[in-house]
Amino acid sequence: MSIQWFPGHMNSARRKAAETMEFIDVVIEVLDARLPEASCNPMITELRLLRQRPCLKILNKADLADPAATQAWLNLFNRQPGVRAVALSCKNKGDAARVPALCQQLAPHRNTTHKPLRMMIMGIPNVGKSTLMNTLLKRRVANVGDEPAVTKSQQSHNINEHMTLTDSPGLLWPKIENPEDGLKLATIHAIGRNATIDEEVAEYLAATVLARYPGLLAARYGVAEDGLDGMDVIEAVAKKRGCLLKGRSGEPDMEKAAMILLTDYRSGKLGRVSLETPDTGKAVLEL
């Protein structure tokens, strides 16, 4: 199944972001550290390059990603002109506190009351943009939830008299060309569930973990991994966790088991699993 998801508010959000970009000094692009390539919106890159704006790429949720893969992405991004990349967790106050100074280094000419540093947070849905906004401002100004597209309009605030911060809604792009990218984005819950089939997304995740991180599924669920494919894993999880359909003679509830697997991955309970690395491009991580 090819996953596509572009709610109507995203089109207007893109137009608003293009207008605001004229008055921004630094773009803070929040990526998911588990898939920095698939979670990088090409429309954001196009907008900032058109205005020649420097970019701080934040590989957020780094505590959930494979450290070796994350370091490889940082090495790649930090070789790109006009880009600075860091890995952190936006929920961590100490990590988030580093962001303004890093942006300042990208626009050293903006640091007065007459010329404040103007930053805009951008990224796909559910990567932690609003969490970063709230942490930097030390108060809740943006709604946060484990659902994509919680933020639907831009909002701006002053961090201090020298710095302003604009939070923009999560943006995907109208057509996801690579079906595997759609599965990756669905795996981290960047796409609404109404556009996905949980069993298919979980099957992709299970197959990836089996191939690249052997032992994690056995450690978490007590299943024997040998000879299993992705769908076998979901069925095994269903049986281990007692997910059975009522009145079906013990038939496994595959949808419920799929959500257990996806929820464990998204929360980090499954382990530190990255889905891609620069060495494999659009492929899953090679170890």
- What is the C-alpha separation between 157 and 164, in angstroms, rounded? 6
- What is the C-alpha separation between 74 and 238, in angstroms, rounded? 38
Q: How confident is the model at residue 252 (pLDDT cuts 50, 70, 90)?
A: very high
What's the DSSP call for residue 53? -
Question: Residue 200 is which amino acid?
Answer: E
- What is the C-alpha separation between 284 and 95, in angstroms, rounded? 28
Three-state DSSP state, 279: helix
pLDDT at 30 over 90: yes
Question: Cβ contacts of residue 127 below 8 Å, gap of 6+?
Answer: 30, 31, 32, 39, 60, 61, 170, 188, 190
Of the two residues 279 and 223, the one the predictor is more confident about is 223
pLDDT at 98 over 60: yes
Direct distance between the N- and C-terminal alpha carbons of the chain, in angstroms, rounded to an integer: 27
Residue 255 CA to its chain's centroid (Å)? 23
Look at residues 201, 234, 204, 200 and name the one whose alpha carbon lies nearest to residue 217: 234
Look at residues 77, 81, 96 and name the one whose alpha carbon lies nearest to residue 39: 77
> Residue 119: phi, psi to the nearest 5?
-115, 150
pTM of the model: 0.87
pLDDT in tens, 163-219: 999 988 877 766 777 889 889 999 999 887 777 889 999 999 999 999 999 999 999
Question: Residue 241 is which amino acid?
Answer: R
Q: Is the dihedral of CA 144, 148, 152, 157 positive or negative?
A: positive
Q: Which domains does the chain have, with CATH numbers?
A: 8-167 (3.40.50.300), 197-280 (1.10.1580.10)
- What is the C-alpha separation between 195 and 183, in angstroms, rounded? 11
- At 27 the pLDDT is 96
Q: Count of CB atoms within 10 A of residue 36's CB?
A: 29
- At 156 the pLDDT is 84
Residues pairing with 29 in the sheet: 57, 122
pLDDT in tens, 39-83: 998 888 988 999 999 999 999 999 999 999 999 999 999 999 999
Question: Is residue 44 within 8 Å of residue 73, measured between CB atoms?
Answer: no
Three-state DSSP state, 146: coil
